[in-house]
Structure 1
């Protein structure tokens, strides 16, 4: 797999995630302003997978064009707001996560080495004589 394909796949997943977040925001707004429509969108979203945002939006277009336009607008607004901070935040989070996992791995390796020494203490003694 090439980095170009990884970038395309990541962008597709992020796009679907932003669609999901936009739908959540709109459902929350509709809950306050138009509860029946909030229930309808919730039910539609339960039946149609938001994980594939393009198919979700195509299906929603057949049912409610106004909601599609609203989702597109909210999704684009979210994207514009987060894209400024996202690269640095992802890099920082991955770095911190890697440090934590390496620390945990080192602890496990150290515990395993200690366990082996406890089981066979003679293998660790030095061969010097007094």
Structure 2
């Protein structure tokens, strides 16, 4: 396993997500202060791929430089506010989720299922045949 590559990929996904959150924040702010610009940004975002945050910002730069600067500023603020707590939150979240999945798996493995050699009387012959097809 290449942990360094996993870390790079994770950082890129997080950076893209923070860009998305910054855009959402700005749309919400603009909805109160400048509804027409909020509508424009919402429409622009719906027609451009925001999943690639850096490409999105480069394309938006051709349309509205002020919004790009605002998005970058909000994204940076979000990163500073969130990243301090993120490592522990991710570790705890994964640990708790894994524990729950293991509990469910153990429950399923320890439940005894009655083995039936004959199909249920209400099942048609075609349903029984279909159930055996891969």
TM-score (normalizing by structure 2): 0.84
- Match in the other structure for 1:27: 27
- Match in the other structure for 1:75: 75
Q: Give secondary structure in 2 for the equivalent of 1:63.
A: coil
Shift of 1:83: 0.9
| Alignment gaps of 5+ in structure 1 | 121-130
Shift of 1:49: 1.1
Q: 2 CA distance for matches of 1:47 and 1:58?
A: 15
Q: 2 CA distance for matches of 1:69 and 1:34?
A: 17
Runs of 4+ in 1 over 3 A off after TM superposition: none
Q: 2 CA distance for matches of 1:39 and 1:54?
A: 22
- Match in the other structure for 1:102: 102
How many pairs does the alignment contain? 116
Q: CA RMSD in A?
A: 1.2
Q: Give secondary structure in 2 for the equivalent of 1:57.
A: helix
| Alignment gaps of 5+ in structure 2 | 117-134
- Match in the other structure for 1:6: 6
- Match in the other structure for 2:86: 86
| 1:72-92 alpha-carbon deviations (Å, 9 max, x no partner) | 000000000011100000000
Q: Give secondary structure in 2 for the equivalent of 1:51.
A: coil
Q: 1 CA distance for matches of 2:48 and 2:4?
A: 29
Larger helix proportion, structure 1 or 2? 1
- Match in the other structure for 1:38: 38
Shift of 1:45: 0.3
